[in-house]
Structure 1
Amino acid sequence: MMTPKDPISRRKFLSTSLALGAAGLAAPAIAQQIDPYTGQALQGTGGGATPDAGLVQYDANQDSRRNISSFRMQDWQPYFSTLTNGAILVDLPSRCLHYWSEDQAVYKLFPTSVPVSPDLTRTGRTEIIKKVEGPSWAPTPEMRKRNPEWPEFVKPGDPLNPMGTHALWLSWQYYRIHGTHDTRKIGRKSSNGCIGLYNEHIKQLYDLTKVGTQVMVI
């Protein structure tokens, strides 16, 4: 169990995040205001980065929703030869995720968060190798180097956990498609490489996918 350095800040965070988290499940527009590891207000212009983003600051003006014209339905055929096991296309420039079921009866389009910088971005073909409801979270070695004050492990269900309610493990080490309690991240460059969805959307995707579902990141 993690022992926070500042229990008062933690208590402030917990009381605030629980209220905001409950509201966020009903209305994705509600955003978390507190950084989970400091108990302080999020930093940056117009909102700030979160643990998954390694506390990297971003330009809110640059990250404004200018991808509306790209946020449109896609055809699976240019990207996949078959829909065996279903398919996920993560479109980084438009910050959205497309899902097609194997029988083509289901198509979903979800807004996402994307990696904050090119060096944290990975593209190409992978697949889902594991599905977890109530995931735990541990910073990668590189995150720990940048932020040694972060805990080594956060248990499932802890409001400090940046993985949200569900997670899909990819075959690439450390890369996930997961939920987030911090709804400010969606539609922005704000992650350390993972793809984030609203918690209500990751639950839908979790229920639709299986181990072996194809994933392509472009």
Structure 2
Amino acid sequence: MSNTEFKLSSRRGFLAGTAAMIASPALAQTTSDVNSTATTQVERDVTESVKRNISSFRTLSWEPYFDNTKKGAILVDIDSRAVHYWSEDQSIYKLYPSSVPLTQDLTRRGRTRVILKDPKPSWRPTPSMVERNPDWPPFIGPGPENPLGTRSLHLSWTYYRIHGTHDTRKIGRKSSNGCIGLYNEHIEELFEMAQVGTQVLLI
């Protein structure tokens, strides 16, 4: 098998695997377990969701979105479920897959900034989370059960974060109550590069 045939075969395998993974019915949001799969929406239209994510997950330039890259810039593209980062001197560019909010009601778009870097995040449900999920615990400290993973970047909007997750099934899917989730290794890398004051745009 040639290299080209192998690449095509691998891509087909990836697409088939992804399609199989998301082929189960959509699940309800209410759950007594914060980390349950019931907090993750699974798209019903497998073909469209796979095509959209692969075609949309591409490198971007910062210029259409920011006037400058002072203190770095983070672009969250909710539709393609991707987080882009540019360093202040533009020598570093990173592109990460992400989880996004479950519904449009939970989705916020616009400009904000990093106001706090939390190296050992603890989690408390917001009032609206408690209303939707009264059985959820009132507090989870740092550790493997924490929905915020290993690092958290607090945004200037109350309750909004870019954070890690221990549940890797959530990445690339609609699975949050408003925050943006990354693989733990990715949030750890972004955490080191981002600063308090790094500008953030959610589109």
Identify the TM-score tier after normalising by the shorter chain. Answer: 0.7 to 0.9
Corresponding residue number in structure 1 for 2:156: 171
Matched residue type, 2:74:
I
Note the alpha carbon deviations across 1:82-126, whole angstroms, 9 max, x for none.
100000000011100000000011000000000110000000000
Question: Is the 8 Å Cα contact of residues 53 and 192 (structure 1) preserved in structure 2?
Answer: no
Q: 1:143 to 1:130 in 2, by over 3 A?
A: same
Moved over 6 A (4+): 46-50
Instruction: Give the SS at the match of 2:105.
Output: helix
Corresponding residue number in structure 2 for 1:137: 123
- Aligned match of 2:179 in 194, 199, 213? 194
Q: Could you tell which deviates more after superposition, 147-156 or 174-183?
A: 147-156
User: 1:56 and 1:112 mapped to 2: Cα distance?
Assistant: 15
User: 2:26 and 2:185 mapped to 1: Cα distance?
Assistant: 24
Identity of aligned residues (%): 59
User: How do residues 50-199 of structure 1 correspond to structure 2 at under 5 angstroms?
Assistant: 51=34, 55-56=38-39, 58-62=41-45, 64-66=49-51, 67-157=53-143, 159-199=144-184
Note the alpha carbon deviations across 1:155-194, whole angstroms, 9 max, x for none.
112x221100000000001100000000010000111000
Gaps of 5+ in 1: 1-43
Compute the displacement of 1:145 (Å): 1.1
Aligned length: 174
Corresponding residue number in structure 2 for 1:3: none
**RMSD of aligned C-alpha atoms?**
2.2
Corresponding residue number in structure 1 for 2:13: none
Corresponding residue number in structure 2 for 1:39: none
Matched residue type, 2:193:
L
Question: Is the 8 Å Cα contact of residues 53 and 191 (structure 1) preserved in structure 2?
Answer: no
Matched residue type, 2:67:
S
User: 1:116 and 1:53 mapped to 2: Cα distance?
Assistant: 14
Q: TM-score, normalised by structure 2?
A: 0.80
Instruction: Give the SS at the match of 2:50.
Output: coil
Note the alpha carbon deviations across 1:50-108, whole angstroms, 9 max, x for none.
73799446234346433111100000000000100000000011100000000011000
Matched residue type, 2:107:
T
User: 2:69 and 2:170 mapped to 1: Cα distance?
Assistant: 30
Matched residue type, 1:123:
R
User: 2:40 and 2:89 mapped to 1: Cα distance?
Assistant: 42
Q: 1:116 to 1:47 in 2, by over 3 A?
A: closer
Matched residue type, 1:162:
P
Instruction: Give the SS at the match of 1:145.
Output: helix
Q: 1:173 to 1:127 in 2, by over 3 A?
A: same
Question: Is the 8 Å Cα contact of residues 81 and 100 (structure 2) preserved in structure 1?
Answer: yes
User: 1:90 and 1:166 mapped to 2: Cα distance?
Assistant: 17
